[in-house]
Structure 1
Amino acid sequence: MSKEDCVDLKQLIMTFMEMHMKEYINPMYHYVKDNPELIKTVPGFLMSPASISVYLGRTHIGVEFDGPEFITELKPGSHIEMKYFDYSIEKCNLVEKIIGFKFDSTRPIPLPLPQVSEDLIFPTNRGIDKLRELKWNFSAQNSIMGFNVPSPSVIEGRFTRVINAFFFDADESGLITRQIKWLDLIPIEFDGDDAEVDTFSFDLSMYKNLIKHDAHYVYPAPDEFKFIQLPKINRFVELWGNKSSSEVMITNFISKQENKFILSMKFGATDIHSELTCHWQSEERKVIRPDFFVVQPNGYADIVEFKLPDIPKSFVVGSENRETFSAWLNSYISQTRVYVSYFDDPNNRRWFEEKYGFKVHKPKRYLVVGRRHDFKADVWREIQADFRDLEIITFDDLIDGVKAQFYQ
């Protein structure tokens, strides 16, 4: 049993984490090092965490690990971002504080978490409504789901662990997602009544029996292609379902190697290239960087450009029989028209193919923008037909087109 007088939160947390590393992480690291066959299966964030968050409550101290799910080698001495949160002076639900939002269940009594929880999906009622609106694929998740879930809580005096849990909420900006990959809630005895000094004690002896178990633990990951990819689509929906997400955040997600299948499956592409710089060869003009080139089986590529899914403006303006796309949408279309002009020049095409290894000529342009309910009227299809080699795709169309292929 260890007891510390708290003068400074950061110093207290550092002392706790030094003991935590000594009793748990370091012995497990050496165990994995001595059994190298475990390196590729042990939870990567335990061996090479990108960040560790420590939450100090009145009955528990929480330690959350984040980072890569899997690793290929042990890298001692890598930088770890440490985060500290002090809820010890608040009478609050520590688990709810860690999650980051309040639950709105009609059941007022908190829900005690079991000693070990794996693969949880706990949305608030606001969150479940938003997930349904976004057509989030519930069947893609091999999980324990809760609906109208009361606030998750931890039983006083009991060590509790949460692995691979997702929590969802929603506000005026859209969907809010919180993933907890690995969280240990360690019981403490806390005394904060003294106006000058807070004290707490904790016991880490339970980790002695967890070191080998955790070293052999394989983080939940689906084996079949379908169940590997569908959760990634859910992560994409969660991203663009929040209005605070930018175009750059959206395209960065798609450009990651593990997520390129979204465009490959939608557009039948053999390869995906993002933001290739295109220099003009016959004239002085500003370089262009289309969001994505999707290479078709014939070796020629089309172009996909992303804009935001939520745009609080009208897509179509004008009186009946004189409708046209709004000025802001036409500006997006004009941007893609510059891409066509670039590849109309044979000097540009020759330079591009020599540099990047594939061809682009008379590319079809895809503009991914808005939601399906933004284009309810048939009139927008009539307007779009006036644009050569241009197709407007909503985010709903993109996601549904990919998901449908998993169920054929």
Structure 2
Amino acid sequence: MNKTLAREHDEINIFEKFLEQLFKVYLDPLREYAKSKPALIRTAPGFLINPEEIILYIGRTHIAVEYLGSEVSEEIKPIKGIKVQVCNYLSKECNLFEKIVGFEYDSTSTHLFSLPLPPFSEDLILPTNKGWDMLCELKWNFAAQNSITGFNVPNPKPVAGQFTRIVNGMFFDANESGLKTRHIKWLDFFPIDYDDSNEDFDRFGFSLDYIATRVEQDAHYRYPLPDDYKYIQLPKINRFIEIWGNSKSTEPEITSHISKPENKFILTMKFGATDIFPELTCEWQSESRNSIRPDFFVLQPNGYADIVEFKLPHIDKSFLVGSENREVFASWLSSYIAQTRVYATYFDDPNNRIWFEKKYGFKVHKPRRWLVVGRRGDFKAEVWREIMADYKDLEILTFDDLIDGVVVQFYK
């Protein structure tokens, strides 16, 4: 083990030396080995071949290295512009793993103070108890994940003196804002020798001998990507749930996530569409009005499109107001509905329809309007369905309804 004496202001130099050695004995040889066997370039973990970002987490028993980037690569790119981030936790005793995932575990078990992490973990799912409860509430599909799952887990820790690797790990917690998610693609814990008992200097040592022996094995390693359609798509639904399950997520964050090419299937499957088109600008042709931009057009097999508008899933106010038998939608919900009514008005004008079809290549006429808002528990009273009957070509869909409508199709 390489020993280094350091004062506090010299610590950054130690971390730079560690990273320099990591490239010298591991990452550069791995890239060169893949070059010598070109077939490996497409199968080796892409974030090892072409790391986009490397994060060093410095604790008192380990240095952890997390690799970020694409899971797959088409070529070996020149090493330049790699972002390096250093998170230094040397100043006090802490659980380095909990610092990395960003939350503390809340096990009720009295038998174990901590859960020793095994030397190698693949497809590991470790929710806190609060995270587990929230995942169940959100109907997160555990069957979609080919994984090892822990329940009521004491705080996980890497074993002192032991190299530890986590591949494709998923960790969950929850608070008043909703679900908290931490996905780790690849994380290595390197044991270190750290001693701060001397007032003049700290003793810091590390060895990369073990990782140097892993070059060929890791180049041949295939990152666990699912190959069955069902197991490809359901984890993506889980990712979408994680986004809208956090009350701090904004409407643009939700819609931008679902508009990504790999996530479009969520809307196409739910609405029986052949394609979706996010945020197309619609300019008025017969009158001077501000242009409109519905969240999504969902194109049906008949060549006509319907409209889907997203609002937030978390509602902290009533959606119905008024006395019994005289209930109406609350003003905030009525304003959402009014917004979709403007969309219908736009396409009532044949000049707008002709302009739109010429510009975007498909038709919209008397579109069905879908408003995705809230959770199923927000719409317990059946009276809301009676009110909905008064609205033409409009449906209110909860986020739970959206997810269920997609997932059920995998079990036909």
Q: Which residue of 2 aligns with 1:279?
A: 283
Q: CA deviation at 1:358?
A: 0.9
Residue 380 (structure 2) pairs with residue 394 (structure 1) = no
5 Å-filtered alignment, 1:231-380, equals: 231-380=235-384
d(CA) in 2 for partners of 1:40, 1:293: 35
- CA offsets per residue over residues 200-227 of structure 1, 9 Å max, x none? 1111111222111111111111111001
5 Å-filtered alignment, 1:2-401, equals: 2-6=2-6, 7-107=9-109, 108-401=112-405
- Paired residue secondary structure (1:20): helix
Could you tell me the TM-score, scaled by structure 1's length? 0.97
- Paired residue secondary structure (2:340): helix
Q: Are the counterparts in 2 of residues 3 and 201 from structure 1 also a CA contact under 8 Å?
A: yes
Q: Are the counterparts in 1 of residues 68 and 185 from structure 2 also a CA contact under 8 Å?
A: yes
- CA offsets per residue over residues 327-382 of structure 1, 9 Å max, x none? 01111111111111111121211111111111111110000000000000110011
Letter in 1 for 2:291: V
Letter in 2 for 1:387: Y
Equivalences, count? 408
d(CA) in 2 for partners of 1:29, 1:268: 44
d(CA) in 1 for partners of 2:302, 2:281: 22
d(CA) in 2 for partners of 1:308, 1:10: 43
Letter in 2 for 1:88: L
Q: CA deviation at 1:54?
A: 0.5
Counterparts in 2 of 1:291 and 1:196: CA distance versus 1, 3 Å: farther
Q: CA deviation at 1:10?
A: 3.1
Q: Are the counterparts in 2 of residues 48 and 78 from structure 1 also a CA contact under 8 Å?
A: no
d(CA) in 2 for partners of 1:20, 1:153: 23
Q: CA deviation at 1:106?
A: 1.7
- Paired residue secondary structure (2:136): helix
- CA offsets per residue over residues 110-133 of structure 1, 9 Å max, x none? 111111110000011111111111
Q: Gapped runs of 5+ residues in structure 1?
A: none
RMSD: 1.2
Q: CA deviation at 1:78?
A: 4.4
Letter in 2 for 1:301: A
d(CA) in 1 for partners of 2:325, 2:370: 26
Q: CA deviation at 1:70?
A: 1.4
Q: Are the counterparts in 2 of residues 318 and 324 from structure 1 also a CA contact under 8 Å?
A: yes
d(CA) in 2 for partners of 1:159, 1:15: 19
Shifted more, 25-34 versus 301-310: the winner is: 25-34
Letter in 2 for 1:275: E
d(CA) in 1 for partners of 2:250, 2:185: 25
- Paired residue secondary structure (2:42): coil
Shifted more, 268-277 versus 187-196: the winner is: 187-196
Q: Gapped runs of 5+ residues in structure 2?
A: none
Could you tell me the TM-score, scaled by structure 2's length? 0.96
d(CA) in 2 for partners of 1:5, 1:273: 59
Q: CA deviation at 1:292?
A: 0.6
Letter in 2 for 1:383: I
d(CA) in 2 for partners of 1:362, 1:8: 69
- CA offsets per residue over residues 129-172 of structure 1, 9 Å max, x none? 11111111111110000101111111111111000001111111
